[in-house]
Amino acid sequence: MRSQANSIAVFCSGFGSNFQAILDAIKKKKLNARVAVMVCDNPKAYALKRANKNNNPIFLFNPKTFSSREDYERIIVSILKAEKVDLVVLAGFMRILTPYFIRAYKNRILNIHPSLLPDFKGAHAIRDAYKAGVKETGATVHLVTNKLDSGPVLLQGKVKISKDDTLKSLEAKIHRMEHQIYPLAISRYMQQLN
């Protein structure tokens, strides 16, 4: 008998390909979870179409209508608590969370970063790795802490950079790796929590 599915909240800002990988893993029963809510800060995000197609509840907010990050995060936390969310999963969410939010979900926020952390932190990791001329890079799933891209590493996947790679082909390779390791890391981490 399968144990009850954990409730997750997925935070997106853009295309939502990692969100789709999570939805696919749930459908294939590789991830015992349900998406309680998808949180989005961008009304033009393609991730919203993915959530609608899957009948996932959505909380869409405009950060510009709030006086501070903590103001909208308080609303998000109240929604997550009402939905009994076990785990927050950042999937291309382009906002830095405040210490308030990180405290509210301490050790229950995962992120995927497109490099082999601690190398190439920040918003342009793929470009930075490509320009640096390194032989390999990859993707890292880590716990979110108050320090950017510095939480404990849960899982990494390596990607070789060939001399024929362009920035675009490297991005595609890294995204494929992300889609493989993120659902797996979420599943493993939730088993530790239960």
What is the reported pLDDT for 1? 37
**Residue 193: which pLDDT band, with cuts at 50, 70 and 90?**
confident
The fold for domain 6-193 equals Rossmann fold (3.40.50)
Name the one residue in this structure whose structure tokens are 């362009």. Answer: 166
What percent of the residues of the chain are helix, what percent strand, and what percent coil, each to the nearest 5? 40, 20, 40
| Catalytic positions | 113
Query: CA dist 50 to 47, 85, 152, 154, 169, Å?
Result: 5, 20, 30, 26, 24
pTM of the model: 0.95
Q: Which two tokens stand for residue 24?
A: 């696919």
What is the reported pLDDT for 21? 98
Name the one residue in this structure whose structure tokens are 């995060």. Answer: 73
How far from the centroid of its chain's Cα atoms is residue 11's Cα? 7
Distance (Å, rounded) from C-alpha 112 to C-alpha 154?
A: 10
pLDDT in tens, 119-168: 999 999 999 999 999 999 999 999 999 999 999 999 999 999 999 999 99
Helix or strand or coil: residue 14? Answer: coil
Show me where the domains of the chain are located. 6-193
pLDDT in tens, 50-78: 999 999 999 999 999 999 999 999 999 99
φ, ψ at 105 (rounded to 5°): -125, 45
Residues 149, 150, 154, 155, Cα dihedral to 10°: 50
Q: Is the pLDDT of residue 172 over 60?
A: yes
